[in-house]
Amino acid sequence: MASGFWQDKRVIVTGGAGFLGSFVCQKLDERGAGEVIVPRSADYDLREKDAICQLISDTSKNGKPVNQIIHLAANVGGIGANREHPGEFFYDNLMMGVQLIHESYKAGIGKFIATGTICAYPKFTPVPFKEEDLWSGYPEETNAPYGLAKKMMLVQSQAYREEYGYNSIFILPVNLYGPRDNFDLNSSHVIPAMIRKCIEARNAGAKSITLWGDGSPSREFLYVEDAAEGLVLAAEKYNESNPVNLGSGREIKIRDLAEIIVTATGFKGEIIWDSGKPNGQPRRCLDTLKAQELFGFTAQMPFEEGVKRTVAWYEANK
Residue type, 88: E
Cα dihedral angle (152, 153, 156, 158), rounded to 10 degrees?
A: -110
Residue type, 159: A
Rounded Cα distance, 50 and 56, in Å: 10
Phi and psi (nearest 5°) for 153? -65, -30
Q: Which of 157, 163, 300 is nearest to 238 (CA)?
A: 157
Judge whether 250 and 310 are in contact, CB under 8 Å.
no
**146 is an active site residue:** yes
Which one from 44, 105, 121, 146 is the annotated catalytic residue?
Answer: 146
Rounded Cα distance, 59 and 64, in Å: 9
Q: What is the 3-state secondary structure (H, E, C) of 119-180?
A: HHCECCCCCCECHHHCCCCCECHHHHHHHHHHHHHHHHHHHHHHHHCCCEEEEEECEEECCC
What single-letter DSSP state applies at residue 118? G
Judge whether 46 and 100 are in contact, CB under 8 Å.
yes
DSSP helix/strand/coil, 51? helix
Helix axes 190-204, 303-317, angle to 10 degrees: 60
Catalytic residues: 146
